[in-house]
Structures are given as C-alpha cells and as structure tokens.
Amino acid sequence: MNDGPGIKARSRILARLRAAPQPPLSDRPPPGAADWTPPVHGPTRLARFRAMLEASRAEVHEVTAADWPARLRELLTDRGVARLLYAPNSEIGRRLAAAWSAAGPDAGGPALVAYDRPVEEMKPVLVDGVDAALTGSRGGIAHTGSVVLWPTAEEPRLMSLLPPLHVALVEEAALADSLSHAIAAWGWPRGMPANALLISGPSRTADIEQTLAYGVHGPKALIVLVIVQ
C-alpha cells in the first residue's frame, strides 16, 4: 500500500529533525544541587527575602506579633481599600477580627468580609466584592523571595489568586534559605496539601515583545508582612 501525501510529508519532517545537529547537553546542575545559604558577612536571610521580593515589585513591611493588625489597617487605609476578605476560622483571621472589634467603628479602615461559605456562593465576592484578601503562609524562601502558601479549607487558594491585592503574613522564624532547605525542614515528603503555592510577587505576564503587564492573571499587588522575632 502506497503512503499518502500526509504520511510522506511527516516522514520528511522527522528525517530532517533527526539529521539536524543536536544541541549540547546543559551544564546546569540538577535541581537541588545548587543551593543558597546566607554568607557570613552578607545579607541575612530576612534581608535577602525582602530584597528579592521588592525586586519583583512586592511591598514588604516588618511587623510584630502584637502590632501587625494595626499596621495592616494603616497600610490598607492609605491605599483606599474598602473591603478586606479574611478567613474567620483561621488563627490570623480570629486575631484580625478581635483587633478590628477592639479598635471600634471610629478607627476607620476597610470593612471585613468573611470567607465563610462554599466557593460557589463566594465567587461574586472573590471576583468583584472585595479589594484585598489576607492570608497566612507556611513560610518563605530567602533565595528566591517566595512566600509559601499551603491552602486549607478555611483559607482556600482562591483568596490569594482572585482579589486585586493580596496581603500575606509570614513569620521570620519560618523563613528557609532555599526551596530544598524548605522541603527538608518542613517534611514535605511526609505530607503536603493538595496544592502548594510559591508566590514571588504580583501576578505578571508578558506579550511577544516582552512588555510586562501586572494583574492579568491574578493580584496586581502583593504586600508581605513579616513578623520579626
């Protein structure tokens, strides 16, 4: 049986690909082989984490465990944020609600919007009902300036992906030097959530001319509050 024109064309293309010069193998080390640790006389882990995030157009503020709700209120008020989404059943959500309540209605700042319903009912709120969302984090990676989120049922991943401004709370004590250090220190092989997020700045994409655009596929701004030791 004779081969048809389509099969002959396919054979010619494959033959040219096989005959083409092969590129040299990459000399890049395998994942995990290259690592980063803070140099003795260089930036600290926190300084590196902050510098890398700020280089990606994120905003980083150092706070304390006692004052972060007040600092958050100040930052969001300055930005004109009117509605803040939060997880009422999470530890930071309860802390936030208690601080807002203690400050009283005259303190100003955004109104709190609870993520307390199934996602099908929350979609209008997530897409067009809030200006910002607050989430906790598993920690951060200094080498790349990445915030690590392990979403839960109380604090699902959509909170960090849909509102135009994402605020993440990170403990300085939970900063790892690199991804491989984080995997080992946090025991990732022994158990992970269904989805883990590494966030290294606002959402950004580029067209064929490499023109960056922010906020096309997610939050256009990222604020990281680091609770210092």
Residue boundaries of the structural domains of the chain: 43-227
pTM for the model stands at 0.80
Q: pLDDT band for position 223 (50/70/90)? A: very high
Q: pLDDT band for position 209 (50/70/90)? A: low
Q: Which one is the CATH code of 43-227: 3.40.50.410, 3.10.129.10, 3.40.50.300, 3.40.50.10420? A: 3.40.50.10420
Please give the C-alpha separations between residue 32 and each of 36, 139, 146, 197, in angstroms, as whole numbers: 10, 19, 16, 19
Highest mean pLDDT range out of 49-53, 189-193, 202-206?
49-53
Residue, of 110 and 4, whose pLDDT is higher: 110
Contacts of 151 (CB under 8 A, 6+ apart): 157, 159, 160, 193, 194, 195, 196, 197
Q: Is the pLDDT of residue 44 over 80?
A: yes
Residue 60 is predicted with a pLDDT of 97
Highest mean pLDDT range out of 100-104, 131-135, 154-158?
131-135
Average the pLDDT over 95-100 and give the result: 95
